[in-house]
């Protein structure tokens, strides 16, 4: 993938832009079963793809420090069904599935990850969250993590058809401190720049495009 700024140095803190994500792909720090497509790399995130199997489980859980997630599910009786989704399969509503992702990570010691569903996934009322192997937190990848990734999927309204390669969530990679911006800072940013599009602003706000900040 041709970078917009090929001479850009990997410096500073914050969420990594597409150029640095592409560099991690090129150096094998982010890899996959099959090539990672250019269209997976967004301005500040990487789209993740479903693997070939979905595992239906009885309840959500996190893996322990010594056993892989699927091994643990088998050992404690949580795994109830294995579904081949290579060519497409229907996942039942309100059932919990864990699906290995095609992408794997071997992050440098100063890089961490934060995952979230794609906006199209949320609009379909599909709940997802990322699970790293041997992890102790949903949606978070620790600095220097090396290993595979899983996604937990629950369709909260209707049956859904999924297949290998579909993209339900995305991963943002960052460097430095992982600290949420406070409300005062958000208000300052809202006065200087548009945090929301003008047509999304509620009637009667003081300034067109100014964000309404309420508890973050």
Question: What's the confidence (pLDDT) of residue 2?
Answer: 53
Question: What's the confidence (pLDDT) of residue 60?
Answer: 93
Domains detected in the chain: 14-175 (2.70.40.10), 181-216 (no CATH)
pLDDT digits (tens, 9 = 90+) for 89-121: 999 999 999 999 999 999 999 999 999 999 999
pLDDT digits (tens, 9 = 90+) for 83-96: 999 999 999 999 99
List phi, psi (to 5°) of 162: -125, 155
The pLDDT averaged over each successive group of 10 residues in the chain (216 residues) is 50 88 97 95 97 96 89 93 97 97 97 95 94 93 96 96 97 83 73 63 49 61
Question: What's the confidence (pLDDT) of residue 127?
Answer: 96
Does residue 162 contact residue 88 with C-beta atoms inside 8 Å? yes
Does residue 41 contact residue 1 with C-beta atoms inside 8 Å? yes
Question: What's the confidence (pLDDT) of residue 213?
Answer: 66
Question: What's the confidence (pLDDT) of residue 10?
Answer: 54
The pTM for the full model equals 0.79
Does residue 49 contact residue 103 with C-beta atoms inside 8 Å? yes
């Amino acid at each position: 993938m041709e970078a917009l700024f090929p001479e850009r140095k990997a410096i500073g803190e914050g969420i990594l832009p597409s150029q640095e994500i592409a560099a991690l792909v090129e150096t094998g720090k982010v890899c996959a079963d099959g090539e990672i497509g250019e269209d997976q790399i967004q301005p500040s995130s990487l789209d993740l793809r479903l693997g070939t199997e979905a595992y239906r489980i009885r309840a959500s859980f996190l893996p322990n420090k010594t056993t892989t997630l699927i091994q643990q599910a088998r050992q404690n009786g949580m795994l109830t069904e294995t579904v081949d989704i290579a060519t497409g399969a229907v996942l039942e509503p309100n059932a919990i599935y864990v699906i290995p992702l095609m992408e794997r990570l071997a992050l440098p010691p100063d890089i961490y990850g934060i995952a979230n569903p794609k906006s199209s996934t949320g609009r379909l009322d599909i709940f997802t969250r990322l699970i790293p192997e041997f992890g102790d937190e949903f949606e978070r990848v620790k600095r220097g993590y090396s290993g595979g990734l899983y996604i937990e999927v629950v369709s909260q309204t209707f049956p859904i058809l999924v297949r290998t390669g579909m993209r339900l969530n995305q991963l943002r990679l960052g460097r430095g401190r992982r600290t949420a911006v406070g409300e005062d800072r958000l208000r300052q940013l809202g006065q200087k720049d548009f945090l929301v599009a003008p047509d999304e602003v509620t009637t009667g706000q003081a300034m067109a495009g100014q964000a309404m900040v309420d508890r973050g």
